[in-house]
Amino acid sequence: MTAGISPVARRVFDGWDWHENAAVAHDGGRVTGVIPGTAPEVDLLVPGLVDLQVNGGGGVQFNDTTTAAGLASICAAHRALGTTTILATLITDTAAKTSEALAACAEARAAGQAGLAGLHLEGPHLDPRRKGTHAEALVRPMGEPDLRRILAAGDSCGHLLVTLAPEAATPEQVARLVAEGVQVSLGHSDCSAETAATYFAAGASMATHLFNAMSQMGHRAPGLVGAALDAGAVSCGLIADGHHVSDVAMRVALRGKRGPGRVFLVSDAMAATGSDLSEITLNGRTIYRSDGRLTLADGTLAGADISMLDALRYCTAALAVPLDEALRMATLYPAEAAGLAGAGRLTKGARADFLALDRDLGVQGVWVGGLRSRNGAA
């Protein structure tokens, strides 16, 4: 990688501030600074989007294609849609499939797969009462072999995130995972706020897709929703597509989240994203695509039919979130929540991953490590 300068933009957003008539200078795949320019060629330059919950894309579902090649296809599909950093997500499956996913991620990372920051294991250690689209027959408590399987991956998979329910794992297991560098998120749980607080104290630092598949907030029983919003050290993923969570609930959460933890966007994208598929499969079950929704035959939501950029646009258009804050929710906040140094910003030393967007927030160009991507290719 050599030194270069991006096209001049009418505005550049570095993760914190706007710069007028500016460009991004980079060297060796890293940002060296935002510099003044003249005669803008594009409207907006912003950091590449960061998505911590990507189940599939471009017609490929990770559960069905747990290979390095499958991950390459998923990364390319989302890169073309503006997301330059992902955690590939394995939905509840067998122990053998989990081992395959860990091996595939390690292989892809070793090969230098662009955009793959790590792996998100969403289940199988969940509460069956809050299983959502996860196959109930595969949901199970965490045993010692499960724990050792995850810990054995070490740092070969990059960042490892595990979604689990307090009903299916102990605080001691959470503490062991966190002590070895694995991040734990609470989700798919019917736990009380008091129980959630115990698990946050043990080291869990996220809540997975806030409001969905978890105990709701009541005035005397705040549930996991209330506990996550009130815990300052906890960050919360949110699916902003107009189907998973009502606009009112999202606005309340955004106003009410106690810091320094943040509410950040996730796509929860399935194989349909970035494709023209009308239906896909998961654990042998058909998922139907219609009117911006993905559902099982019984109507249960089964992931989301959006990209991160779709979620960002929804926040600005439907929730009246200012553009700079919506951008942070899709870049800086998820990167900070997962400790992904260098992602989600365009300050000195950050990765030179950025997008050119038009006034309607449509993608005009994607750069990875300072090099322009063509059709999702790194």
CB atoms within 10 A of CB 120: 30
DSSP states of 180-228 as a string? TT-EEEE-SB---HHHHHHHHHHT--EESSTTTTB----SS--HHHHHH
Q: Which of 51, 190, 230, 268 is catalytic?
A: 268
Tokens of 253: 């959460």
Q: Cα separations (Å) of 30 from 36, 330, 335?
A: 18, 20, 16
Whole-number Cα distances in Å, 358 to 45, 328, 361, 365: 9, 18, 5, 10
Rounded to an integer, what distance in angstroms lies between the CA atom of residue 378 and that of residue 368? 7
For this structure, is 268 an active site residue? yes
The answer to whether the CB of 217 falls within 8 A of the CB of 223 is yes
Q: How far apart are CA 279 and CA 91, in angstroms?
A: 17
Q: What is the DSSP string of 283-322?
A: TTEEEEEETTEEE-TT--B-SBS--HHHHHHHHHHHS---
Q: Is 117 helix (H, G, I), strand (E, B) or coil?
A: strand
d(CA 65, CA 50): 22
Q: Which residues are catalytic?
A: 268
